[in-house]
């Protein structure tokens, strides 16, 4: 804990003895070693994969390139499962799109989970972060309870600053990813049409049921 204040001792004791169920999340990426600093989830793509490829490898010789604790990470006495990620198809018509995912409390205690939504633009005319947090929602679930969490992505949220110092949205393929932190995500892709031409493009994707624990997107796993 950083600067917990005069009641910090009581707060820590309540967590250690299980009187409360913690639900805080890290606002930063926690490094494994000082040699990783600076490290953050929204870094630019290095252009080289983090896998152990002898020719095009990005990483370290003595430790993994991933952080010790990723951005958005947090512990709880409850366990949660993410499944049934669904991306809507109405971005072109209404300039917004519905994204939903089911969250289930698989633990034995009532707890709060922070559902985080990230967006990525895999191909762009300018350098873009591998992930960007756009929205989040805190949900409280009883043991065994399942709830569908829905977000609305607006076209303006996909805009980025261009060389002419104006914000604009590039047409093309985007990725949306949801999960409990920036390293454990379920990902789907959708198309953003060019509003200047009237051609309809396909949008929407559906990801079948799957537990999010241990599953990482390539963007979240990429090294610096």
> Which tens digits make up the pLDDT trace of 103-136?
999 999 999 999 999 999 988 888 899 999 999 9
- pLDDT in the model for residue 140: 97
**Three-state DSSP state, 91:** helix
- Tally helices (H) and strands (E) across the chain: 3, 10
Does any domain span residue 6? no
Please report whether residue 159 resides in a domain.
yes
Is 51 a member of any domain? yes
Name the residue among 206, 20, 215, 217 with its Cα closest to residue 102. Answer: 206
- Contacts of residue 138, defined as CB under 8 A and 6 or more positions apart, other chains included, come to 23, 112, 113, 114, 115
Number of domains in the chain: 1
* Tens digit of each residue's pLDDT (9 = 90 or more) over 40-69: 999 998 776 666 566 666 778 788 889 999
Structure confidence by residue, pLDDT tens digits, 132-173: 999 999 999 999 999 999 999 988 899 998 889 999 888 888
User: What value does the mean pLDDT of the chain take?
Assistant: 83
- Flag whether 24 is in a domain: yes
- CATH number of the CATH domain containing 136: 2.60.40.10
Residue 6 to residue 120: CA distance in whole angstroms: 41
Q: 77 in a domain, yes or no?
A: yes
The pLDDT confidence band at residue 213, using thresholds 50, 70 and 90, is very low
Nearest to 204 by CA among 90, 120, 94: 90
* Domain hosting residue 126, numbered range: 11-16+20-221
pTM value? 0.82
Kindly state whether residue 1 falls inside one of the protein's structural domains: no
């Amino acid at each position: 804990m950083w600067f917990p204040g005069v009641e910090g001792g009581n707060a820590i004791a309540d967590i250690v003895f299980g009187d409360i169920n913690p639900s805080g999340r890290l606002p930063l990426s926690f490094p494994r070693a000082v040699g990783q600093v600076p490290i953050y989830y929204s870094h630019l793509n290095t252009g080289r994969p983090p896998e152990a490829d002898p020719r095009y490898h990005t990483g370290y010789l003595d430790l993994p390139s991933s952080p010790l604790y990723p951005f958005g990470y947090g512990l709880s006495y409850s366990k949660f499962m993410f499944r049934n990620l669904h991306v809507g198809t109405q971005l072109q018509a209404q300039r917004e799109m519905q994204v939903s995912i089911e969250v289930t409390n698989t633990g034995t205690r009532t707890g709060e989970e922070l559902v985080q939504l990230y967006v990525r633009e895999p191909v762009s005319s300018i350098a873009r972060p591998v992930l960007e947090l756009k929205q989040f929602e805190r949900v409280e679930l009883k043991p065994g309870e399942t709830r569908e969490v829905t977000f609305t992505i607006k076209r303006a949220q996909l805009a980025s600053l261009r060389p002419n110092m104006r914000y604009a949205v590039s047409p093309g393929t985007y990725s949306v990813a949801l999960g409990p932190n920036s390293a454990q995500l379920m990902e789907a892709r959708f198309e953003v049409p060019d509003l200047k031409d009237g051609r309809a493009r396909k949008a929407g994707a559906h990801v079948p049921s799957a537990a999010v624990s241990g599953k990482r997107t390539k963007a979240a796993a990429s090294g610096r």
